[in-house]
Amino acid sequence: MREYLQKLSENKSLSQVEMKDAVRKLFSEEVTDSEIAAFLIGLKTKGETVEEIVGLVQAVREKSLTFSKKVANVMDNCGTGGDGSKSFNVSTTSAFVIAGAGIPVAKHGNRSISSKTGSADVLEYLGINLTLSPEEAEECLDEVGISFLFAPHVHPKIKNIMKVRRELKIPTIFNLIGPLTNPMELDYQLLGIYRRDLLPTFGEVLHNLGRKRAVVINGAGFMDEASLQGENHLIIVDNGSISEQILTPENVGLSSYPNEAIIGGDAMRNGEILLSVLNGEKGACRDTVLFNAGIGIYAGGKADSIVEGIAKAKESIDSGSAKQKLESLITIGEKFKKEGVV
């Protein structure tokens, strides 16, 4: 670690191979908390490169639970959090809509860190089993078309790094890479990020990680979701090409709403909002989900444009398909719980 810390202190970047080796060392018992902290601060001060982020993600995924490639064309639509918007669980709600449109969704998420209610909190309230084995999670994905991967459960060896990260009390690269560390092999991805300056970097990272198509988005008001408040900045990765786009709700036939219109609350409140959207209730929350799910359906290769993706998102909700995905995920999770009781 001394060599890598020295390089960072001299404002020199690490190669992808060096970064993988350094992060592997962070997982070992030989490295102290002080070294972990120095490494994270050194990266932050220098500024993380594409190669460093890719190497970090690869090393973290090496230490996660192992999943097979049983289901093809899998996507995730996880955001980084950290935008301070206090919105309801937009991406979690959108995941069911995307799955209802026929895209297998491996939803990677956690409890609340920067927001009031994380994806795991609201899904647990709704009755979804958070601690599935890899085999059970893959069965969910295969049979239901959606599975939830609870980050602390699928990344059991990352506790020491997370402990230091919490003690530092400042954002580090680990505040941004959560959506990239999904342990399932992803073909497609919608990644929301609260830092607009990192959009091109994360587009390059997703390209290097082999996504067939992906969208990185920073919404109006610097949300880590698509927002109906104004301009949304997107990076689109499509079979190797990377392009930029600015999108407003008017561009896709949706009404404008301020971000305050989608403020959520605790797990119960956000669960009620999620259910109201899947039950077809009109308003700002539904339109925000349509916007995000539409971009997700486009990112997942089931639409040739975002406008077409939004139309398919409407169909997913109004046909009851999205709600059925939620109900089926609850049912299969209960089955696994009963089978686990001796």
Distance CA 232, CA 224 (A): 10
- Residue 224 marked as a ligand binder: yes
- Residue 225 marked as a ligand binder: yes
- Residue 321 marked as a ligand binder: no
Non-local CB neighbours of 335 within 8 Å, separated by 6+ positions: none
- Residue 115 marked as a ligand binder: yes
- Residue 119 marked as a ligand binder: yes
- Residue 276 marked as a ligand binder: no
CB distance 76 to 182 below 8 Å: yes
- Residue 108 marked as a ligand binder: yes
Distance CA 329, CA 237 (A): 30
- Residue 227 marked as a ligand binder: no
Distance CA 212, CA 209 (A): 9
- Residue 114 marked as a ligand binder: yes
CB distance 190 to 211 below 8 Å: no
- Residue 83 marked as a ligand binder: yes
Distance CA 51, CA 277 (A): 39
Quickly tell me which residue has 């460093």 as its tokens.
52
- Residue 239 marked as a ligand binder: no
Non-local CB neighbours of 342 within 8 Å, separated by 6+ positions: none
Task: Give the helix/strand (H/E) hosting 89.
Answer: none
* Crossing angle of helices 321-340 and 90-100, rounded to 10°: 100
Distance CA 66, CA 61 (A): 9
CB distance 190 to 215 below 8 Å: yes
- Nearest CA to 336 among 132, 177, 148? 132
- Residue 117 marked as a ligand binder: no
- Residue 107 marked as a ligand binder: yes
CB distance 226 to 251 below 8 Å: no
- Residue 28 marked as a ligand binder: no
- Residue 287 marked as a ligand binder: no
Non-local CB neighbours of 69 within 8 Å, separated by 6+ positions: 185
Distance CA 323, CA 153 (A): 26
Output the known binding site.
Answer: 79, 82-83, 87, 89-92, 107-115, 119, 165, 224-225
Output the known binding site for 5-phospho-alpha-D-ribose 1-diphosphate.
Answer: 79, 82-83, 87, 89-92, 107-115, 119
Output the known binding site for Mg(2+).
Answer: 91, 224-225
Output the known binding site for anthranilate.
Answer: 79, 110, 165
